[in-house]
């Protein structure tokens, strides 16, 4: 028994099961009576608990740190440690992730850390299915510096011209192309068409090593968040509905969701506020 709550429960059980007095039950368990008789003088935090339960229903993948950032954004000056107690008591903890074992490997040269928007983009492809079982593919495009979701498109199948057109649309929307686009060695990225597009637009394609998704870790982390918060909680009836839900999630992620890589701010707030990165993201090459 470590916590006061556990000690109170043990003493109450002994009193009820064996008809002991409070004094004797405390002596049996080695608990001081002032621990049992203590009444908290703190103001009730029902409003905070209600807001946490509401957030946990709306944002099922948000942990305590992101919920704390959202509450601060709303103007609630609550300490993180004070938030932690009702967060645990309400049973809102997320299942901890299992850490993978890392084995020693060859020394690799570090990539340069981007210092401004549109300096480096990361691109990848996800797989999902519609309600009827039809497979679809989702192209994800992320700004490595600001973590802003540049593009998020779903299609029945992908080709290199489709990817080139998608990059061109992103160029128009963002007002320019990056110096580097990092991606894996999928067929839609290693084709001659995309190689010609990169050459004529003065963009360098930075390919990951085969079997090394850590080389494109920014996009892989984004894919994990997208998988947990959109495809895993929605049934896509058809392709237009899938695109509509993906676009809505992209807008919410860019304007609202706190990102730990940019100081628990949203990418749009980070970019507009001119904030500096709290720590460098050291992607490896």
7 pLDDT more than 80: yes
260 pLDDT more than 90: no
210-235 mean pLDDT? 88
Higher pLDDT, 155 or 279: 155
Query: DSSP class of residue 181?
Result: E
Q: Note the Cα 164 to chain centre separation in Å.
A: 28
Task: Transcribe 98-143 into DSSP letters.
Answer: PPPP-------PBPPPP-STTSEEEEEEEEEE-TTS-EEEEEEEEE
Query: DSSP class of residue 40?
Result: -
How many other C-beta atoms are found inside a 10 Å radius of the C-beta of residue 243? Answer: 17
243 pLDDT more than 70: yes
Summary mean pLDDT of the chain: 84
Could you tell me the pTM of the whole model?
0.70
Write down the pLDDT at residue 97.
64
227 pLDDT more than 80: yes
- pLDDT tens digits, 9-30: 999 999 999 999 999 999 999 9
- pLDDT tens digits, 36-60: 898 877 766 788 888 888 887 777 7
- The fourth-level CATH superfamily of domain 120-273 is Ribonuclease H-like superfamily/Ribonuclease H (3.30.420.10)
């Amino acid at each position: 028994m470590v916590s006061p709550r556990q000690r109170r429960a043990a003493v109450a059980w002994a009193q009820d099961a064996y008809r002991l007095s409070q004094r004797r039950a405390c002596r049996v368990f080695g608990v001081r009576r002032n621990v049992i008789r203590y009444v908290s003088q703190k103001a009730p935090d029902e409003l905070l608990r209600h807001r946490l339960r509401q957030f946990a229903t709306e944002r099922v993948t948000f942990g305590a740190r992101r919920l704390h950032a959202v509450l601060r954004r709303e103007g609630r000056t609550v300490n993180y440690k004070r938030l932690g107690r009702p967060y645990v008591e309400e049973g809102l903890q997320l299942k901890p992730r299992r850490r993978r074992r890392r084995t020693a490997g060859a020394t690799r040269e570090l990539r340069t850390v981007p210092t401004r928007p549109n300096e480096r983009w990361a691109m990848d492809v996800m797989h999902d299915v519609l309600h009827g079982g039809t497979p679809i593919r989702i192209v994800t495009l992320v700004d490595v510096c600001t973590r802003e979701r540049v593009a998020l498109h779903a299609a029945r199948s992908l080709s290199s011209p489709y990817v080139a057109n998608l990059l061109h649309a992103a160029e128009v929307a963002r007002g320019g192309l990056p110096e580097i686009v990092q991606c894996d060695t999928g067929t839609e990225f290693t084709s001659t068409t995309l190689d010609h597009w990169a050459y004529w637009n003065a963009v360098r394609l930075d390919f990951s090593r085969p079997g090394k998704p850590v080389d494109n870790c920014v996009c892989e982390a984004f894919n994990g968040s997208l998988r947990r918060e959109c495809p895993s909680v929605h049934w896509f009836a058809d392709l237009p509905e899938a695109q509509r839900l993906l676009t809505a999630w992209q807008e919410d992620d860019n304007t609202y969701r706190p990102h730990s890589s940019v100081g628990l701010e949203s990418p749009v707030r980070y970019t507009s506020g001119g904030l500096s990165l709290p720590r460098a993201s050291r992607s490896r090459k």
